[in-house]
Amino acid sequence: MATMTRVAPDTQTRILDIAERLVQKRGFNGFSYADIAVELKITTASLHYHFAGKAELGRALIARYSARFFEALAAIEARLPDADARLEAYANLYAAVLREKRLCLCGMLAAEYDTLPKAMRESVLRFFDENERWLARVLEAGRKAGSLDFGGPPEEAARAIVCGLEGAMLVARPYRDIVRFQSAAQQLIASFTAKAGP
């Protein structure tokens, strides 16, 4: 019987892991290459070998985070056929990040939007646009099936959900209270659930 050997993550992956944690806790402008170098016990020159500058690192962070997030959305679709269950699972993605005492990577970057390099700004917008498109499809399907009820276009409802969850994360953070977020998220999702008839 073959034994499994655990392969240590490569340096580039470790750089991204550390940078992601720092962005989610401090923001993009709240850390430097020196912070990563100290944690990895390497020189900043070694960091520049993997990512020429902080803008390149930022783009790689958003690309990796977005890919993982969209894989999670695909998994929700594959696992849950009902739109209301998909909305609840979507909110739980945010709760999982907050449980780690972090905020959504792109939410943190949105707070620093005007100071980000142009390519990073475009990537942040793509992340939110894709989330809104996914939610709009879920909302429209739920309205057609009768499990969700809301006024106006699904795109506007999708925008309200993204804004509501990102804002709930931000406000819950200083309280260090996941229940505060969960309560707000449940109220938000419940507002889209079709009410039973009399």
What would the two tokens of residue 169 be?
A: 């994360």
Through-space distance between the first and last CA atoms of the chain, rounded to whole angstroms: 63
Q: What secondary structure does DSSP assign to the chain, as a single string? A: -PPP-PPPPPHHHHHHHHHHHHHHHH-GGG--HHHHHHHHT--HHHHHHH-SSHHHHHHHHHHHHHHHHHHHHHHHHHH--SHHHHHHHHHHHHHHHHHTT---HHHHHHHTGGGS-HHHHHHHHHHHHHHHHHHHHHHHHHHHHTSB--SS-HHHHHHHHHHHHHHHHHHHHHHT-HHHHHHHHHHHHHTTBPPPP-
Please, what are the domains in the chain?
Answer: 61-190 (1.10.357.10)
pLDDT for the residue numbered 151: 94
pTM of the model: 0.90
Query: How confident is the model at residue 194, as a pLDDT?
Result: 73
Q: How many CA atoms lie within 13 A of 115 on its CB side?
A: 9
What's residue 9's pLDDT?
A: 66
Flag residues of the chain having pLDDT under 70: 1-9, 196-198
